[in-house]
Amino acid sequence: MLARYGTGSVAEAAALAAAGPHSALSVTRLVADDGSATLALAVGQGGPLNCCLAHASQAKKQGATA
| pLDDT for 41 | 92
**Of 5, 3, 40, nearest in space to 20 by CA:** 5
Contacts of 14 (CB under 8 A, 6+ apart): 40
10 DSSP assignment: H
What's the whole-model pTM score?
A: 0.58
Rounded to 5°, angle at Cα 41 from 20 and 65: 115
**Quick one: CA dihedral 22, 50, 54, 7, positive or negative?**
negative
The pLDDT tens digits of the residues spanning 17-56 come to 898 888 899 988 899 999 899 999 998 876 555 566 655 6
